[in-house]
């Protein structure tokens, strides 16, 4: 299981847990449920740490 930190650029940060074999579409649907946004509008980008 992996945990991804997601920032919606409005100030809300969410940690989403997913399995390693989940597809990106599945991950977007999990994220959409947690932040209350349609999964079609979500764009994932790699952040700099």
Closest among 26, 25, 44, 48 to 14, alpha carbons compared: 44
Any idea how long the chain is?
Answer: 49
d(CA 46, CA 37): 19
Mean pLDDT (10-residue bins), the chain, 49 residues: 87 89 94 91 83
For residue 49, what pLDDT is reported?
Answer: 65
- Determine contact, residues 4/15, Cβ cutoff 8 Å: yes
Tell me, yes or no, if the pTM score tops 0.85.
no
Q: Is 36 left (phi over 0), alpha (psi -120 to 50) or beta?
A: left
Q: Which domains does the chain have, with CATH numbers?
A: 2-41 (3.10.20.90)
């Amino acid at each position: 299981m992996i945990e991804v930190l997601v920032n919606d650029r409005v100030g809300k940060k969410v940690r989403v847990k997913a399995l390693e074999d989940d597809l990106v579409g599945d991950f977007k649907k999990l994220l959409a449920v947690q932040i209350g946004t349609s999964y079609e509008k979500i764009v994932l980008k790699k952040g700099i740490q």
